[in-house]
Structure 1
Amino acid sequence: MQIITDQVYEFSKDNKPCATAKPGEVLQFNTQDCFSNRIPDENTTMADLDYTYGFANPAAGPVYIEGAEPGDVLVVDIYEVKVADEGTIATDDHCGPLFETTGYRTKKIPVKDGMATFNQVSFPINPMIGVIGTAPSGPDVIDGFVGSHGGNMDNKKITKGTRLYFPVRVPGALLQMGDVHATMGDAELCGTGIEIPAEITVRVQLVKDFELNWPVLETFGPDGKWYVNCSGTHYEQALMNGSKELQRLLMRVTGWDAVETYMYMSVQSDVEVSQGCEPCEVDVSLRIGTPKLSEFPVLIPQP
């Protein structure tokens, strides 16, 4: 199994691949925390970090996937997300709804036996990947931002046992990932979850010649769903982007017209906020989920 340790700070078609993988191959991505492991203790805050270094949200990779061409879909199965034994929560003076009364503070969170401890409160961790995606065909997108390529989606459902589908827009797709959280609440209100280094094990596969405009997440089990991951400069734009894509994908498999599909979405699909720590320069990130149907079990062709 290849182990990916190189770190990059933007999704770019010009990033030089650090490895090449074949469809079906299993890979391990070793990631730093979103601060590039540069907050060693609670006396160090985000105010002490040099932003010109480009420290934020490093991603391990990118990996060139053999045979991936523009117009294909990259499929990523998440097998494991193994986190370190300590994570970091940090606040600043410009992010989240309560930023005016917050300022800069750091809190270290021990993680042991699958539990995180915040003061006297312990709770189960649910390690999830904040940043994951493929290279855009246009301008570079720094890792801390989100878009139709993926990136900083901060979707807490991107965790062990799920499957992701990404549009391929450049040869080789150029897969990279990082920004793992031991746990995070929807919206990530103060701008950080429990930020933590991790080892991510995934398998990569391809679906050839399938139109996909936004990343899709598939969950399994009796409550399995399909989620379109979408974003926008404001909630309404993100909602429009995701609704259009989910409607298009559902129409393809059901044969229903646009209005019937819209009606069905209104009664069976949920809009959930993945990252919305406004005010923040990062776009609002949503996921729109719809149940798997026994009548139409496959929203996207399988690899």
Structure 2
Amino acid sequence: MQRVTRDKISYVFDRRLEPVLRIAAGEVFEIETEDARTGQTRTPETCRADYVIALRSKGPYYGNPVTGPIHVAGAEPGDTLAVSIRDMECDTQGFAGYWPFVYHLQDWFHEPVTELVEICNGEVHYTLQTARGPHILRIPTRPMIGCIGTAPHLEVPTAGTAGRFGGNLDVPEVAPGSIVYLPVAVPGALLYLGDCHPYQGDGEVSGCEMRAVVTASVDVLKNWTKTQNAPRIETPTHLVTVGAASPAENAQWQAIREMIVWLEERYGWSKAEARIFLTLVGDLRPGQMQVSPYTMRLIVPKERLPQQPE
């Protein structure tokens, strides 16, 4: 099995970079990912606010590295890349924290905070130091990939942004057992992924980051759709579409529009039928809420859908 190591990283989704791995459609491969600060806050000393501020001075987009690009044989513009997340191996250590000078609530938070977390026996261990004493959290891991996308044709977005190509989605459904559908804009697709989390709730309001090893495979879908304008995700139990925009209200409507189109294509429904259906069974949930563009996702349970035609 081919494996790409975590030193093969980028901070942008760039079509001009030389591929770090070349795979065939259907081939199973492994990707090592770096944490969101490129492994530079892994000791108590490197979690200090002054150290983290110095890291920030290296550049506004020094964080959120993605491994790649990965070239997929046979992928051409207009195709769809179906990325199957088969497994994720969590590192034994990660960190939780935030940058107050980038994100919201700056009137409350004036210095960066970084806390180490332990990941062991399938749990995230974190001790919250409160005014009433320590509060120990032990949360079962639910690993996910925060950032996944293909290289756009023209622009070179940073790994901290999101759009039609994918990017910094930060939605828990990008996880083992899911298929992520991404539009192909350049030959070979040039897939990037990283920013893995051991656990995240509905909405990223600060980061809980880790290194990981992701096992995946990729299929190239020809003529699957001609109208995809946002990432689509299929879990064992749900269909998910992800919008990315600012304000978040616009991201919400992107996700709704994409789901209507998906239902129209998949089941032959009219747009009106799909919209009424979504009123009854669709769930709108936040994704990445720290920096613009924000992400919102629309989730539909498969049990409420008709059997897909053969």
State TM-score, norm by structure 1. Answer: 0.91
Q: Give me the whole-angstrom Cα distance separating, in 1, the residues matched to 2:60 and 2:273.
A: 50
Q: One-letter code of the match for 2:115?
A: K
Q: Give me the whole-angstrom Cα distance separating, in 1, the residues matched to 2:282 and 2:305.
A: 16
Q: Give me the whole-angstrom Cα distance separating, in 1, the residues matched to 2:162 and 2:265.
A: 26
Instruction: Tell me which residue corresponds to 2:297.
Output: 287
Q: Please tell me whether the aligned partners of residues 263 and 274 of structure 2 are also in contact (alpha carbons under 8 angstroms).
A: yes
Deviation at 1:57, TM superposition (A): 0.9
Q: One-letter code of the match for 1:37?
A: G
Q: Give me the whole-angstrom Cα distance separating, in 2, the residues matched to 1:21 and 1:284.
A: 32
Instruction: Tell me which residue corresponds to 1:112.
Output: 120
Instruction: Tell me which residue corresponds to 1:83.
Output: 90
Q: Give me the whole-angstrom Cα distance separating, in 1, the residues matched to 2:122 and 2:288.
A: 24
Deviation at 1:40, TM superposition (A): 2.7
Q: Give me the whole-angstrom Cα distance separating, in 1, the residues matched to 2:66 and 2:158.
A: 10
Deviation at 1:195, TM superposition (A): 0.6
Root-mean-square deviation (Å):
1.7
Q: Give me the whole-angstrom Cα distance separating, in 1, the residues matched to 2:187 and 2:197.
A: 30
Q: Give me the whole-angstrom Cα distance separating, in 2, the residues matched to 1:55 and 1:258.
A: 42
Q: One-letter code of the match for 1:2?
A: Q
Residues 117-132 of structure 1 mapped to structure 2, 5 A cutoff: 117-119=125-127, 120-132=136-148
Deviation at 1:215, TM superposition (A): 1.2
Q: Does residue 250 of structure 2 align to residue 237 of structure 1?
A: yes
Instruction: Tell me which residue corresponds to 1:16.
Output: 18
Local SS of the residue matching 1:251: helix
Instruction: Tell me which residue corresponds to 1:48.
Output: 54
Local SS of the residue matching 1:33: coil
Q: Please tell me whether the aligned partners of residues 43 and 106 of structure 1 are also in contact (alpha carbons under 8 angstroms).
A: no
Q: Please tell me whether the aligned partners of residues 23 and 204 of structure 1 are also in contact (alpha carbons under 8 angstroms).
A: yes
Local SS of the residue matching 1:99: coil
Q: Give me the whole-angstrom Cα distance separating, in 1, the residues matched to 2:148 and 2:123.
A: 24
Cα offsets for 1:60-81 (capped at 9, x unmatched): 1111100000111101111111
Question: Equivalent pairs: percent with the same residue?
Answer: 29
Moved more, 32-41 or 42-51: 42-51
Q: Which of 186, 191, 198 is the aligned partner of 2:212?
A: 198
Q: Please tell me whether the aligned partners of residues 74 and 166 of structure 1 are also in contact (alpha carbons under 8 angstroms).
A: yes
Q: One-letter code of the match for 2:125?
A: T
Q: Please tell me whether the aligned partners of residues 116 and 123 of structure 1 are also in contact (alpha carbons under 8 angstroms).
A: yes
Q: Give me the whole-angstrom Cα distance separating, in 1, the residues matched to 2:114 and 2:252.
A: 33
Pick closer, same or farther for the CA change 1:213–1:17 going to 2, 3 Å. same
Deviation at 1:237, TM superposition (A): 1.1
Deviation at 1:96, TM superposition (A): 4.6
Q: Which of 148, 165, 171 is the aligned partner of 1:149?
A: 165
Q: Give me the whole-angstrom Cα distance separating, in 1, the residues matched to 2:301 and 2:100.
A: 39
Q: Does residue 68 of structure 2 align to residue 61 of structure 1?
A: yes
Q: Give me the whole-angstrom Cα distance separating, in 1, the residues matched to 2:289 and 2:235.
A: 22
Q: Does residue 282 of structure 2 align to residue 265 of structure 1?
A: no
Q: Which runs of 5+ in 2 are unaligned?
A: 128-135
Q: Which runs of 5+ in 1 are unaligned?
A: none
Moved more, 255-264 or 49-58: 49-58
Local SS of the residue matching 2:53: helix
Q: Give me the whole-angstrom Cα distance separating, in 2, the residues matched to 1:42 and 1:234.
A: 36
Q: Please tell me whether the aligned partners of residues 92 and 99 of structure 1 are also in contact (alpha carbons under 8 angstroms).
A: no
